[in-house]
């Protein structure tokens, strides 16, 4: 019996450590006319970092474990449910991320969450931006300094680039 309890506790702990499953956000883009998905896990990030020229960007990216982008555009408003963002919000709440920005302006919202670690270090950054015809999510996992966030918000030698979006017919699922 003890053994079973130990195994169960271990399994629960392992489950608790798992990252966010982005598949749950697929529903969000079910009716999108255009979408952009970027998934860079730890190994891919290491590989990408080796080809980066800018030292500042390299410094920021060096300790990241994952970078995930989901962005969907819709032909009409009301084509996604606000509730489809609930799993992500629940995830960050359950992991005790701090909501540092929560702006609601007309029918547009911006939320920024940080995972505090210690001092000026954070364990991740999540941005949720929702408009009637567009919803975007940025999920960055890994150690960052708060000053890195300011750098990311600036130019930092990153060129102006539009996300390559895949066009899809409304209603067509991926």
Write out the residues near other proteins by the rule CB under 8 A: 36, 38, 40, 44-45, 47-52, 57, 61, 67, 69, 71, 101, 103-105, 108, 110, 112, 125, 127, 129, 136, 138, 140, 149, 152-156, 158-161, 163-164
CB 71 → other proteins: shortest distance, Å? 7
44: Cβ–Cβ under 8 A, 6 or more apart, which residues?
none
User: Cβ(29)–Cβ(70) under 8 Å?
Assistant: yes
CB 120 → other proteins: shortest distance, Å? 17
CB 82 → other proteins: shortest distance, Å? 17
3-state secondary structure of 36: strand
CB 14 → other proteins: shortest distance, Å? 28
Integer CA distances (angstroms), 99 to 14, 102, 105, 113, 117, in order: 25, 7, 17, 4, 14
* Shorter beta-carbon distance to other proteins: residue 83 or 103: 103
d(CA 98, CA 95): 9
* Shorter beta-carbon distance to other proteins: residue 11 or 103: 103
Task: Name the region of 33 (left: φ>0; alpha: ψ -120 to 50; beta: rest).
Answer: alpha
Structure tokens at 66: 């994952």
Q: Which of 150, 146, 156 is nearest to 54 (CA)?
A: 156
CB 69 → other proteins: shortest distance, Å? 5
* Shorter beta-carbon distance to other proteins: residue 16 or 105: 105
* Shorter beta-carbon distance to other proteins: residue 75 or 101: 101
* Shorter beta-carbon distance to other proteins: residue 27 or 99: 99
């Amino acid at each position: 019996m003890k053994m079973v309890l130990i195994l169960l506790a271990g399994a629960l702990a392992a489950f608790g450590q798992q990252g966010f499953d982005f598949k749950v956000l697929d529903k969000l883009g079910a009716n999108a006319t255009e979408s952009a998905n970027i998934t860079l896990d730890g190994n891919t990030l290491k590989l990408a970092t080796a080809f980066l020229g800018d030292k500042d960007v390299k410094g920021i990216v060096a300790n990241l474990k994952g970078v995930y982008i989901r962005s969907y555009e819709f032909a009409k408003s009301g084509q996604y449910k606000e509730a489809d963002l609930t799993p992500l919000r629940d995830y960050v709440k359950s992991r005790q991320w701090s909501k540092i920005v929560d702006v609601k302006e007309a029918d547009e919202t911006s939320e920024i969450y940080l995972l505090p670690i210690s001092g000026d270090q954070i364990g991740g950054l999540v941005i949720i931006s929702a408009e009637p015809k567009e919803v975007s999510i940025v999920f960055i996992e890994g150690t960052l300094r708060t000053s890195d966030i300011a750098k990311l918000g600036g130019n930092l030698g990153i060129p102006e680039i539009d996300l390559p979006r895949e066009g899809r017919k409304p209603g067509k699922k991926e």
